[in-house]
Amino acid sequence: MLTIIFIAACLVFGLAYLKYGKFLIRLFELDNRNKTPAHTLSDGVDYVPAPTPVLFGHHFSSIAGAGPVLGPIIAGLAFGWLPVWLWIIIGAIFIGGVHDFSSLVISIRNRGKSVAEIANIYMSRRAYRLMLVFIWLSLVYVLTVFTDLTAATFKADGGVATSLILFMILAVGFGISLYRLKMPLLWATGIFVSLLFFSVWLGQQIPFNNIPALFGDTAKTWDVVLIIYCFIASVTPVWMLLQPRDYLSSFLLYSSILGGFLGILFGGLALKFPAFCGWSSPDIGPMFPLLFVTVACGAISGFHSIVASGLLPNKLIRRLMLCPLAMEQC
């Protein structure tokens, strides 16, 4: 049963990619002859044309976080797997993906500006300021949550911290090798992805445990270190750290997806949870609207439009040959 459900979802997403994606490409009148901001505003710092695989991995890692995993699990336990499955498919194809894809196209046609800057152009001053406040609060929330989660992980397992430090070094090395030393992408990928998986193993052999405890807790120390890292990453040329980091980390995601794919097809796993648990859950409330609030990332999430605008167009070599499905559910 689980295998049938999985294959059915893959077929629907594949059909949406081939049919609905092409329809939207025509609707938005995308044309490879139109130059993107990566070319017209190229500065070698933030506006840098990137190879398609690097760009895809960069965007994939930027939006593939914990939200698309935890939300469906919580909603599935509350309402059953069928409503969640249907909402993810319908929402990703016809709502969330279109929203993010539209944000990307609008940003490309406005010199790679973010959604907030575009609101300043086409909407009122009040709308622009409200958008800035919303984005700022969202980023503070995301930064706080993921900093605390990462710090707690580093505290519990120093090997993870070691692996991440090695990973950052590899990301910088990959960026320099690709963009400054002009190493072929295939060679650079083979070398640095191999080193990435090696660093995952090596981190467990030399865990980073002996660090001073600020405010009486080593997790607080990691909080400070991570905030400093975020500042450095925000001012470092994107080709040097952020883009190579996301590209390399996408291979960890690809391997996880492949492992899950093989496990579903050949693992003989049984689907033991009910398809439908009721229209209301005693834990989180009625299905409407809480199903759609709980399963936001992966079906519709305004936050993804921040990544799709401002960040992605500045590296886009040419028209993005991805349907909205790939933007939301890649």
Which of 62-71, 197-206, 259-268 is predicted most confidently?
Answer: 197-206
Region 176-201: what's the mean pLDDT?
A: 94
For CA atoms 287, 292, 296, 302, the dihedral sign is negative
- What crossing angle do the helices spanning 81-91 and 287-294 adopt, rounded to 10°? 60
Region 43-65: what's the mean pLDDT?
A: 78
- The reported pLDDT for the residue numbered 321 is 36
Q: With cut-offs at 50, 70 and 90, classify the pLDDT of residue 163.
A: very high
Q: 288 is written with which tokens?
A: 């409407």
- The reported pLDDT for the residue numbered 48 is 77
Instruction: Output Rg (C-alpha) for the chain, integer angstroms.
Output: 21
Q: With cut-offs at 50, 70 and 90, classify the pLDDT of residue 314.
A: low
Q: With cut-offs at 50, 70 and 90, classify the pLDDT of residue 2.
A: confident
Phi, psi of 281, deg, nearest 5: -115, 135
- The reported pLDDT for the residue numbered 168 is 94
Who has greater pLDDT, 185 or 315? 185
- The reported pLDDT for the residue numbered 214 is 84
Region 193-208: what's the mean pLDDT?
A: 94
Instruction: Give the number of residues written for the chain.
Output: 330
Region 48-73: what's the mean pLDDT?
A: 79
Has residue 24 got a pLDDT over 50?
yes
C-alpha atoms less than 13 angstroms from C-alpha of 238 in its C-beta half-sphere: 23
Has residue 323 got a pLDDT over 50?
no
Q: Which residues lie across from 151 on neighbouring strands?
A: none
Question: pLDDT averaged over the chain?
Answer: 84
Segment 103-158, tens digit of pLDDT:
888 888 888 888 888 888 888 888 888 888 888 888 888 788 889 888 999 999 99
Segment 215-250, tens digit of pLDDT:
888 999 999 999 999 899 888 888 888 889 989 999
Region 264-286: what's the mean pLDDT?
A: 86
The C-alpha angle with vertex 191 and arms to 153 and 64, in degrees rounded to 5, equals 40
